[in-house]
């Protein structure tokens, strides 16, 4: 396996290992932040399974309903997935969308908080920097899989993409923008900003502000990176991810402004 290894009949993918490292690192950070806020750190570890399941389901559904053009050309469309349910479940073959992961994981956290009768917005604030950290680590899985890169570039940090993984129409190019790396750095900066805001303005923040800030900073970065990325998912001829990011950033910014203006 070029992107993993086998233990007997079991195939282990490096992409999956990287995603799990991101999840564990994020949970560790959230547990530390929970302790700082005098909350039970065990809540983080107990809710992790819920969040992971919700995140994976959401990420897969987002991919199924917004497949990239390169897959559509091969006939792997939403209709194909709906008529081939086993392929729709085959997440080990790739196909996970970050927007869906955030939505699914957020919904799972909300349901778990309801079950435990605790504040969702408080825990969303605690988890937000961890989400950014997990994304920063998880993006390196795209490097392993040679996917989700940007347009051709001659810049020194351009990455070589093997011919088998080049987007149709760009076979003649060899080096491309490492958009996974750009997004990883952006997420690390977002994590640092959210942690700093939590400590610097702890007495002025309202529960939910940190999460709303995440919903502004990450979408802005992703919106800009979509201008570089090749093979972006389309819905009705528009970039699905970029459009969603714009809507989320504007809505979160308006909510943040409104709640503090009212206060």
Query: What's the whole-number mean pLDDT along residues 21-43?
Result: 95
- pLDDT score at 2: 62
Angle at 53 between CA 17 and CA 98, to 5 degrees: 70
Over range 184-191, report the average pLDDT.
98
User: With bands split at pLDDT 50, 70 and 90, how would you rate the model's confidence at 190?
Assistant: very high
d(CA 68, CA 213) in angstroms, rounded, equals 28
- Indicate if the pLDDT at residue 177 is higher than 70: yes
Whole-prediction pTM value? 0.91
Is residue 1 over pLDDT 60?
no
Tell me the per-residue pLDDT of 203-213, one tens digit each, with 9 for 90 and over.
889 999 999 99
- Mean pLDDT estimate for the chain: 92
235 has which bridge partners?
A: 238
**pLDDT surpasses 80 at 4:** no
Q: What burial letters (b/e) apply to 39-71, b meaning 16+ CB within 10 Å?
A: bebebbeebbebbbebbbbbbbbbbbebbbeeb
Sequence-ordered alpha helix ranges (H) in the chain: 14-36, 42-65, 69-73, 78-83, 85-89, 98-116, 120-138, 140-145, 179-200, 209-225, 240-262
| 58 close to 104: Cβ distance less than 8 angstroms | yes
114-152 pLDDT, tens per residue?
999 999 999 999 999 999 999 999 999 999 989 889 999
User: Residue range 194-201: average pLDDT?
Assistant: 93
């Amino acid at each position: 396996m070029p992107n993993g290894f086998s233990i007997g009949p079991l195939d282990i993918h490096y992409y999956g290992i990287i995603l799990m490292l991101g999840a564990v690192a994020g949970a560790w950070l959230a547990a530390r932040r929970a302790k700082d806020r005098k909350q039970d750190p065990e809540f983080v570890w107990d809710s992790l399974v819920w969040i992971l399941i919700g995140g994976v389901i959401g990420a897969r559904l987002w991919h199924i309903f917004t497949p990239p053009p390169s897959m559509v050309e091969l006939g792997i469309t939403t209709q194909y997935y709906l008529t081939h349910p086993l392929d729709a479940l085959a997440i080990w073959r790739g196909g996970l969308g970050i927007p869906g992961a955030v939505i699914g994981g957020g919904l799972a956290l909300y349901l778990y908080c309801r079950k435990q009768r605790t504040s969702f917005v408080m825990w969303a604030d605690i988890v937000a920097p961890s989400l950014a950290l997990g994304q920063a680590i998880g993006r390196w899985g795209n490097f392993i899989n040679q996917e989700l890169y940007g347009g051709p570039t001659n810049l020194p940090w351009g990455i070589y993409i093997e011919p088998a993984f080049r987007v149709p129409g760009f076979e003649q190019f060899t080096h491309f923008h490492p958009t996974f790396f750009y997004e990883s750095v952006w997420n690390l900066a977002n994590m640092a900003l959210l942690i700093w805001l939590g400590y610097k303005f702890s007495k002025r923040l309202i529960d939910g502000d940190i999460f709303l800030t995440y919903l502004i900073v990450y979408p802005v970065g992703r919106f800009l990176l979509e201008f570089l990325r090749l093979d972006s998912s389309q819905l009705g001829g528009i970039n699905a991810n970029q459009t969603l990011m714009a809507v989320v950033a504007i809505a979160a910014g308006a909510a943040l402004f409104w709640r503090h203006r009212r206060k």
